């Protein structure tokens, strides 16, 4: 079953396995991954799955609209590269994107601290 979400003006489709309260989390994760190194779209999708031990799984219909939005907002930039005969768009974080990542990280820490306080430390 699929759930349609509106995220920053972008309509995306996300698997039911990711709760609705995760709105905005893909942006944070994409920016975080791109702060480490340049990556292409599907690589980002796979990296999120791997690094969250498959707890989070965002499909192409979620991540690619985010990448296009982030590029339009000049938070990331892209360049086309040929690798093994395939042409791919590689994305990297811009200085403006780094500032946005800092803002989102601060907000994430504030929210998770508040939730942990309410739920008790065993849920942190």
The one-digit pLDDT tens for each residue of the chain (124 residues) are 344 434 444 444 444 555 556 778 999 999 999 999 999 999 999 999 999 999 998 899 989 999 999 999 999 999 999 988 889 999 999 999 999 999 999 999 998 888 888 988 665 5
pLDDT score of 45: 96
> Are 120 and 113 spatial neighbours (Cβ–Cβ below 8 Å)?
no
Helix pair 60-72, 25-36: axis angle to 10 deg: 70
pLDDT score of 19: 52
Closest-CA residue to 81 (of 38, 48, 47, 44): 38
pLDDT score of 20: 57
Closest-CA residue to 29 (of 49, 53, 13): 49
Domains of the chain: 25-123 (1.10.10.10)
Q: Is 23 in a helix, a strand, or coil? A: coil
Determine the Cα–Cα distance for residues 95 and 116; give it in Å rounded to an integer: 31
Judge if pTM exceeds 0.85: no
pLDDT score of 21: 60
pLDDT score of 120: 85
Determine the Cα–Cα distance for residues 45 and 113; give it in Å rounded to an integer: 27
Structure tokens given for 5: 């979400």
């Amino acid at each position: 079953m699929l759930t349609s979400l509106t995220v920053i003006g972008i309509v995306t489709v996300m698997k039911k396995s990711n709760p609705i309260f995760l709105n905005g989390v893909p942006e944070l994760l994409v920016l975080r991954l791109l702060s480490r190194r340049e990556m292409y779209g599907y690589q980002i999708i796979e990296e999120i799955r791997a690094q969250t031990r498959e707890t989070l799984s965002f499909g192409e219909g979620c991540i690619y609209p985010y990448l296009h939005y982030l590029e339009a907002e000049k938070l990331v930039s892209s360049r086309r590269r040929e690798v093994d005969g395939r042409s791919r768009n590689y994305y990297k974080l811009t200085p403006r994107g780094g500032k946005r990542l800092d803002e989102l990280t601060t907000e994430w820490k504030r929210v998770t601290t508040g939730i942990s306080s309410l739920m008790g430390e065993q849920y942190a």
